[in-house]
Amino acid sequence: MRVSLIQFAAVTDTAENLEVVTGMVTKAAATPASQRSDGHLIVLPEGAMHDFGAPDLPLGPAAQSLDGEFVTALARLAGKVGATIVAGMFEASNDPDRPFNTVVVIGRQGELVARYRKTHLYDSFGYRESARMLAGDGVPVVVPFEGLTLGLLTCYDLRFPELARALVDAGADTLVVPAAWVRGPSKEDHWATLLRARAIENTSFVLGAGQSGPSYIGSSMVVDPMGVVVSGLGAGAGVATADLDPRVIGEVRRRNPSLANRRMPPAS
- Among all residues, which ones are annotated catalytic? 46, 118, 155
Alpha-carbon distances of 98 from 61, 149, 154, rounded to whole Å: 9, 31, 17
C-beta atoms surrounding 254 within 10 Å: 10
C-beta atoms surrounding 193 within 10 Å: 12
Give the three-state DSSP class for 163.
Answer: helix
Q: How far apart are CA 48 and CA 2, in angstroms?
A: 21
Rg (CA), the chain: 17
Q: How far apart are CA 88 and CA 21, in angstroms?
A: 12
Give the three-state DSSP class for 220.
Answer: coil
